Chain A
Amino acid sequence: MSAFPHRHLLGIEPLAPADIQMVLDTADGLKEVLDRPIKKVPVLRGKTVVNLFYEASTRTRSSFEIAQKVLSADSLSISTATSSVQKGETLLDTAKNLEAMNPDMIVIRHASSGAPHFLARHCRSAIVNAGDGAHEHPTQALLDALTLRQRKGRLKGLRVAIVGDLLHSRVARSNLWLLSKMGASVVLCAPPTLVPPGIERLAPVTWRIEEAVEGADAIMVLRIQRERMTGGYLPSPREFFNLFGLTEERVRRAKKDVLILHPGPMNRGVEIASEVADGPYSVILDQVTNGVAVRMAVLYLLLGGSAGGTS
C-alpha cells in the first residue's frame, strides 16, 4: 500500500513508470464495478468535481462523468458554449469563481497548452488535464496502455506505430511519453507537414506508413483534426487517405495479432478505412470502456486520502 505521489494529473511526462503502473493496476481493480448490477460504490461520497470543458468532447467528458457517478462523487459539467466564458470571463476568473464553491477537483479541457498547469498554480483543487491544446491528454494515453496491457499482457518490448497528425495531436505526445517510459518501442509516421520539429529526438519518424506498421504489435491511428487545419497542411483528405490511411492491405504488414487503436472521433475514409475500424483487430470500443476505468482510477488516486496526512 503506497500513496500516489502526485496531487494533480497534468500530463504523462512528469510521471514515473511506477506511477503509471499504479494507475493501471487501480483501473484493473475498479473495472469490475462497471459489471455489477448496481454500478455504484460509495468511495468518493461527499467529494465534488467540476468538469470544465473549453473544447468539444463526447467520449472524454461522458466517461469522466460516468466515472464520477460510479464512485459517488458529486459532479457538475460546464461547457463553455453555455457559460459566462461567452461573456468574456477569463480562465482564471472562471476558475477562481468555481473554486469559491469549494470543489475537490477540476477536470479541464482547453485549447491552449498549459492551461491545466496554470490552474494548478492558482487553485487549491486537484487539477486533471483532459486535453490541453497540442500538449498532453494523459487519461487517453493511460486508457490506451490499459487496453494494450489487457490484450498483450505487457507493455515492455511492444512495437507500436503511431500514425497520423502528429503536429496537433496531444494523444500522440502523451502516448509517446507513456510507451517509452514503459519500455515499448515507438515508430511515428506522418506527412512532413504534420511532423512537429524536434520530435525525432523522442522516437524515429518515417513518412512511409508501410515502413511504420511493419511488424507492429499495435497501431495507433490519430484523428485528422480538421478544426485545426488552418494552414496548407494537406492537399486533400482523399490524398491523405491514399498515402497515410490505414487500409487492410497496410494492416497485413503488421503482426498477425496486431491491435488497432483510435482515440476517436474517427474520420472514416480519411485516416482509417471502415473495414479496419470495424475489423477483428480493432479494439476501439474496448478503449472506450477502459476510459471509464482509467478515469475512475485517477479520481480514486487523487481524491482519496488526506494530502500528506497520516492515519
Chain B
Amino acid sequence: MDAGRVARTLARMAHEILERRPDMRGVVLVGVRSRGVPLARRLAGLLREASGVEPAVGALDITLYRDDFTVIASQPITKGTEIPFSIDGRTVIVVDDVLFTGRTVRAALDQLIDFGRPARIELAVLVDRGHRELPIRADYVGRSLATARQEIVQVLLKEEDGRDGVLLLERRARRARRGGAARGRALARRGK
C-alpha cells in the first residue's frame, strides 16, 4: 500500500464509522501505542471534516498488560497511557495499525476496563493479517491481507517513520519479531 492508498483507506474507514455511529458526541478514539495513536488522530480529523464533531483521542500503552511479560527477555520501556477523559457510557473505538494474534487487543481491552465502563468497545485496524490466537475480530478493517505467519507486516506512518505505506516483509532471522530486530532486514517486498 502506498501513501495514497493509506489515505483513501483511512477516509473509507472514517465513513464506515460515521455510518454506524452517526452521533460522534458519544464516541472516543483510543490509539494503541505506538502507531495506533497517529492513526487515531488522523481518523479523528477525518471524522471532524465529515461530521463537524471531532472525537477525543487517547493513547494506550499495553506494556503493563502483556501476557508474555515474564517470558520475553527484555523489558520494553512503557511510554504511558493517556486517556484524559472519561470513557464511562461512551463508545470507545480502539485503533491499531495491524491486527495479528489478537493478544494486543486483549491487553487493550483489559486495560480499558480498568479505566471505566464504556457503553461499547469497537476495534478499527488499518491491516488485518489473520492468524488470530484469540476470539477477537475487528469492526472496521482498512485492508485484509493474506499473509504467512512468519511474514512481517510493517505499517509506516509519516508521524513515526517519515512516510506512509504498508510493507509485507519476509523474516530472515528467526526470533527476530519480538526483539524488533527484524525491522530493516527486508528481503522481499510484496503487495502494493
A1 within 8 A of B: yes
Grouping DSSP codes into helix (H, G, I), strand (E, B) and loop, the B interface class, with mixed when no group exceeds half, is loop
Is the pair B116, A42 in contact by a Cβ cutoff of 8 Å? no
Known A-B contacts A40-B114, A304-B70, A305-B70; the reply to A310 vs B75 at CB < 8 A is: no
A18 at the interface (CB under 8 A from B): no
Asked if B74 contacts A2 (CB within 8 A), the reply is yes
Verify if B172 is at the interface (C-beta below 8 Å from A).
no
B-side contacts of A40, CB under 8 Å: 114
Does residue A36 face the partner (Cβ distance < 8 Å to B)?
A: yes
- Over the window 3-33 of chain A, the binary record of Cβ atoms lying under 8 Å from chain B Cβ atoms (1 yes, 0 no) is 1100000000000000000100110111111
Q: Are A36 and B114 in contact (CB under 8 A)?
A: yes
User: Measured between C-beta atoms, what is the minimum distance from B115 to chain A in Å?
Assistant: 7
Any B CB within 8 A of the CB of A38: yes
Interface segment among B4-12, B60-68, B120-128: the answer is: B60-68
Contacts of B79 in A (CB 8 A): 29
B64 contacts A306, CB within 8 Å? no
- Contact between chains at A32 and B114 (CB < 8 Å): no
Q: In the complex the two chains form, what is the Cα distance from A40 to B175 in whole Å?
A: 31
8 Å CB contact of B175 from A2, A3, A31, A311: A311
Whether B76 sits at the interface, judged by CB under 8 Å, is yes
**Residues B74 and A1 in contact, CB atoms below 8 Å apart:** yes
Tell whether A42 pairs with B110 under 8 Å between CB atoms, given A29-B61, A305-B70.
yes
- Of A3, A38, A306, the residue contacting B70 (CB under 8 A) is A306
Contact with B along A285-311 (1 / 0, CB 8 A): 000000000000000110011101111
Known contacts: A43-B63, A304-B69. The answer to whether A37 contacts B76 by CB under 8 A is no
A251 to B61, CA, bound (A): 41
Query: Would you give the shortest CB distance from B152 to chain A, in whole angstroms?
Result: 15
Are B77 and A306 in contact, with the CB atoms below 8 A?
no
Residue of B nearest to A38 (CB): B114
In the complex, which residues of chain B have a beta carbon less than 8 angstroms from the beta carbon of A43? Answer: 63-66, 69
| A92 CB-CB contact with B under 8 Å | no
| A26 and B75 contacting across the interface, CB-CB below 8 Å | yes
What interface size band does chain B fall in? 20 to 34
Indicate if the CB atoms of A25 and B70 lie closer than 8 Å: no
Does the CB pair B114–A305 fall under 8 Å?
Answer: no
| B179 at the binding interface (Cβ < 8 Å) | yes
Closest to B68 in A: A311
Q: Does B73 contact A (CB under 8 A)?
A: yes
A114 to B74, CA, bound (A): 28
Tell me the nearest residue of chain B to A307, going by C-beta: B73
Cross-interface CB contact of A42 among B61, B65, B82, cutoff 8 Å: B65
Chain B residues near A3: list those with CB within 8 A.
73-75
B78 interface neighbour in A30, A305, A308, Cβ under 8 Å = A30
Contact digits for B151-192, partner A, Cβ 8 Å, 1 yes 0 no? 000000000000000000000000100111000000000000
| Interface contact B180-A1, CB-CB below 8 Å | yes
List A residues at the B interface (Cβ < 8 Å): 1-4, 22, 25-26, 28-33, 36-38, 40-43, 46, 71, 300-301, 304-306, 308-311
Known: A46-B70, A311-B68. 10 other contacts (CB 8 A): A1-B76, A1-B179, A1-B180, A26-B77, A29-B80, A37-B115, A305-B73, A306-B72, A311-B72, A311-B175
28 sample A-B contacts, Cβ–Cβ < 8 Å, listed by A number? A1-B75, A3-B74, A26-B75, A26-B77, A26-B78, A31-B80, A32-B80, A33-B81, A36-B114, A36-B115, A38-B114, A41-B114, A42-B64, A43-B64, A43-B69, A300-B75, A301-B75, A304-B70, A304-B72, A304-B75, A305-B74, A306-B73, A309-B71, A311-B68, A311-B71, A311-B73, A311-B178, A311-B179
B binding-site residues for A, Cβ under 8 Å = 61, 63-66, 68-82, 110-111, 114-116, 175, 178-180
